Amino acid sequence: MVGFAPVGRWERPPKDLPNSLSPWIPEEFWPQSIYPEAKTVVVIGLPVSLPIVETAPSIYYHELYKTVNSMLDSKAYEISNYLSEKGFGAIYLPRDAYGDIKILIDKPFAFFSHKHAAYLAGLGSFGHNNVLLTPEYGPRVRFTSIFTTAKIKGDRIKTEDLCTHCLLCVKNCPVGAIPKTGDFPPPVDKKLCAVRSAELRDEYRSPCGVCIKVCPVGQDRELFGRKNMAIYSKSKKFGKYHKAWEHVRKYGSK
Ligand code: B12
Ligand code: SF4
Ligand code: SF4
């Protein structure tokens, strides 16, 4: 996926945004605060395949996560060099930017948020699970960004709310980190989620990913024949899938 967001959108968020975020992104997290010459943020996204995410938490999703992360970093690096060669200053951003999950337990922020950048570049809307949902892959897509001095027309902001408010993410979160009611998107308990991720990391099967696995949004569900959400229940009808996931989980991690 790719989207373009003029940096002015951080300063003056468009009125037709599908969700109202309060408080808004603090100024020191804006692209023009980090790279004052920046005029446009190019956001790229790569999918995480649903049948692999379905095994999560597992070594399989762990490996996919690492692969997608390194692909995002190298693609962003290449795009920034391409733009620089064409005479437009451009810098890539790492897809995450934290040294260790333990750092996030006390301070769960990076210096720039790609999920908000993707939102402002018209790639999707926030879900109840507090990540960005896209029409193509629901929340099963990871992002990174490139800051450039090139002035590029911004993409149209999607005005529809993609979240169906089914609350499957709330019901399935193993540590109860996603509040059921209150603000939308709700303030996820970042500490609970980060502690769970740290435990899984010690077992070689992080991150958790359950709230992106069970989300019904995304055309990828059609492609992979996963429209029936009962697949994640213990129903006998879906026994062959559960058997496959359990098999994968038995090997290569604790
Ligand atoms: C820190 C982090 C975490 C932490 C904290 C999560 C969180 N909810 O913020 C932990 C470890 C818990 C985590 C978990 C997960 N993460 Co994470 N995470 C990040 C990371 C590295 C930085 C996010 C960040 O700092 N944003 C900056 C601030 C501005 O955003 P914010 O916290 O949402 O703040 C808003 C409000 O809270 C408010 N606010 C209120 N008070 C304050 C105070 C301050 C100081 C600030 C800054 C803001 C603020 O202002 C903001 C705007 O509204 C990003 C990668 C990146 N660099 O963007 C990935 C990222 C957000 N994670 C991602 C994913 C997928 C996950 C997981 C599903 C795990 C997984 N990979 O399977 C879970 C989902 C948890 C959940 N339901 O939210 C993806 C999301 C992709 C998508 N489709 O949206 C990202 C973008 C990684 C990527 N490169 O794609 N993550
Ligand atoms: S990643 Fe796992 S622990 Fe964190 S909010 Fe999602 S379901 Fe809950
Ligand atoms: S699981 Fe349901 S409530 Fe949660 S983000 Fe997806 S559509 Fe929204």
Ligand 1 atom 25: the closest Cα is on which residue?
109
Phi, psi of 188 (to 5 degrees): -65, 140
Which pTM does this prediction carry?
Answer: 0.96
160 Rama class: left (phi>0) / alpha (psi -120 to 50) / beta: beta
Range of the domain at 226: 2-249
89 occurs within a structural domain? yes
20 occurs within a structural domain? yes
222 occurs within a structural domain? yes
- Residues 142 and 46: beta-carbon distance below 8 Å: yes
Going from the Cα of 141 to the center of ligand 1, the distance in angstroms, rounded, reads 13
29 occurs within a structural domain? yes
Going from the Cα of 136 to the center of ligand 2, the distance in angstroms, rounded, reads 21
- Give the atom of ligand 3 at the shortest distance from the alpha carbon of 168: 1
254 occurs within a structural domain? no
Distance CA(161)–CA(149), nearest Å, equals 31
Own/partner pairs, 78-87, CB within 8 angstroms, 24+ separation? 79/42, 79/44, 79/146, 80/146, 80/148, 83/146, 83/148, 83/150, 86/150
What is the predicted pLDDT for the residue at 235?
Answer: 86
Number of separate domains in the chain: 1
104 lines ligand 1 (CB under 6 A): yes
68 occurs within a structural domain? yes
What is the predicted pLDDT for the residue at 29?
Answer: 98
Q: What is the pLDDT along the chain (254 residues), one digit of tens a residue?
A: 999 999 999 999 888 888 888 889 999 999 999 999 999 999 999 999 999 999 999 999 999 999 999 999 999 999 999 999 999 999 999 999 999 999 999 999 999 999 999 999 999 999 999 999 999 999 999 999 999 999 999 999 888 999 999 999 999 999 999 999 988 888 999 999 999 999 999 999 999 999 999 999 999 999 999 999 999 998 899 999 999 999 999 999 99
What is the predicted pLDDT for the residue at 74?
Answer: 98
Ligand 2 atom 8: the closest Cα is on which residue?
173
- Residues 57 and 206: beta-carbon distance below 8 Å: yes
Going from the Cα of 130 to the center of ligand 1, the distance in angstroms, rounded, reads 8
Ligand 1 atom 81: the closest Cα is on which residue?
142
Closest-CA residue to 104 (of 183, 32, 207): 207
What is the predicted pLDDT for the residue at 166?
Answer: 97
226 occurs within a structural domain? yes
194: helix, coil or strand? Answer: helix
What is the predicted pLDDT for the residue at 158?
Answer: 82
Going from the Cα of 83 to the center of ligand 1, the distance in angstroms, rounded, reads 28
What is the predicted pLDDT for the residue at 227?
Answer: 97
136 occurs within a structural domain? yes
